[in-house]
């Protein structure tokens, strides 16, 4: 007989139903092997599927393993928030009231719980600094833009491997029609500012040359890394809003806030589907 596991599919980073980025969450998954988890993630064919297990760290509430259809990630943003929402939904009681602590390969991640909004503390980047000129030329070619249109750039890798380029405006970002094969496997974000007074300060897009989709709808890890860079260098205020997913018909909204040396990355999360996984 197959065993059943609590299951939820969570919509992350949108104030409209099914406007954000979905993540599949399987709870009580401590008896599943790595191979089994990877097979399930390949089958769900979402950008990420997470498996929640008992924590090995007494400070954490649970341990999350995060899989794309191809590999395991040390950290990812929207799966972190989706996992915390599912864990709370199925009766999880945080050790620290109002704050969930998730253990993952990247370490302990703090998640603030404020009604329908969850926010994670941005982890440190594993790689930072400017992008190499050869990569910039390749990105410009992939985006069908001139190299001079890239105003600034940075490695913002906090686990998934992100690089980002800054363009002159949000409209320039939205107009991109990338040739993904030219990126050579590099995960690249593009960000540009909206005019003053707009609902969002920036628009961001996340291109993932390998995966079930070539553009991620709404991306917590990329926004976290970009926020660390842009707030540190004065390119963005200590609190701002980012739009993402417009070209994909999504309504992603990411709230960034720097507080006491911590950058919080948050948004609305809601259970879209729930039930059991029969494995």
Using CA atoms, how far apart are residues 48 and 155, in angstroms rounded to an integer?
A: 22
Q: In the prediction, which pLDDT does 1 show?
A: 75
Task: Say yes or no to pLDDT of 76 above 70.
Answer: yes
Percent of the chain with pLDDT over 90: 93
Burial class of 273 by CB neighbour count within 10 A (0 to 12, 13 to 18, 19+): exposed
pLDDT digits 0-9 by tens, 181-205: 888 889 999 999 999 999 999 999 9
What pLDDT band is residue 267 in, cutting at 50, 70 and 90?
very high
Residue-averaged pLDDT of the chain: 96
Q: In the prediction, which pLDDT does 108 show?
A: 97
Closest CA to 183 of 211, 219, 202, 158: 211
The CATH architecture assigned to 4-120+266-278 reads: Roll (3.10)
pLDDT digits 0-9 by tens, 46-59: 999 999 999 999 99
pLDDT digits 0-9 by tens, 125-170: 999 999 999 999 999 999 999 999 999 999 999 999 999 999 999 9
Own/partner pairs, 124-128, CB within 8 angstroms, 24+ separation: 124/158, 124/228, 125/155, 125/156, 125/157, 125/158, 125/225, 125/228, 125/229, 126/157, 126/158, 126/159, 127/155, 127/157, 128/154, 128/155, 128/156, 128/157, 128/229
pTM of the model: 0.95
Using CA atoms, how far apart are residues 189 and 182, in angstroms rounded to an integer?
A: 14
- Can you identify the CATH homologous superfamily of domain 133-265? Diaminopimelate Epimerase; Chain A, domain 1 (3.10.310.10)
Q: In the prediction, which pLDDT does 116 show?
A: 82
What pLDDT band is residue 4 in, cutting at 50, 70 and 90?
very high
Two structure tokens written together for 259: 């507080």
What pLDDT band is residue 92 in, cutting at 50, 70 and 90?
very high
Q: In the prediction, which pLDDT does 33 show?
A: 97
CATH 3.10.310.10 location in the chain = 4-120+266-278, 133-265
Catalytic residues: 48
* Tokens 């593009």, located at residue: 190
């Amino acid at each position: 007989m197959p065993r059943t596991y609590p299951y939820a599919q969570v919509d992350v980073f949108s104030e409209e139903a099914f406007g954000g980025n979905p993540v599949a969450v399987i709870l009580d998954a401590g008896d599943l092997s790595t191979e089994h988890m990877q097979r399930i993630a390949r089958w769900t064919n979402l950008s990420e599927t997470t498996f929640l297990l008992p924590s090995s760290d007494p400070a954490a509430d649970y341990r999350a393993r995060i899989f794309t259809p191809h590999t395991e990630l040390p950290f990812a943003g929207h799966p972190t928030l989706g996992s915390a929402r599912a864990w709370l939904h199925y009766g999880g009681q945080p050790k620290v009231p109002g704050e969930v602590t998730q253990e993952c390969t990247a370490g302990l991640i703090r998640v603030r719980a404020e009604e329908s909004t969850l926010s994670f503390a941005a982890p440190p980047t594993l790689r930072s600094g400017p992008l190499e000129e050869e990569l910039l030329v390749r990105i410009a070619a992939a985006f069908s833009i001139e190299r001079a249109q890239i105003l600034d750039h940075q490695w913002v890798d906090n686990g998934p491997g992100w690089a980002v380029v800054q363009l002159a405006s949000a409209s320039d970002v939205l107009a991109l029609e990338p040739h993904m094969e030219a990126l050579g496997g590099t995960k690249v974000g593009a960000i540009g500012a909206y005019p003053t007074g707009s609902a969002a300060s920036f628009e961001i897009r996340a291109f993932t040359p390998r995966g079930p989709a070539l553009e991620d709808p709404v991306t917590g890890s990329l926004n976290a890394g970009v926020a660390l860079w842009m707030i540190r260098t004065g390119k963005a205020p200590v609190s701002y809003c980012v739009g993402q997913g417009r070209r994909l018909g999504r309504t992603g909204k990411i709230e960034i806030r720097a507080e006491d040396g911590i950058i919080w990355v948050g948004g609305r999360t809601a259970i879209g589907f729930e039930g059991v996984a029969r494995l």
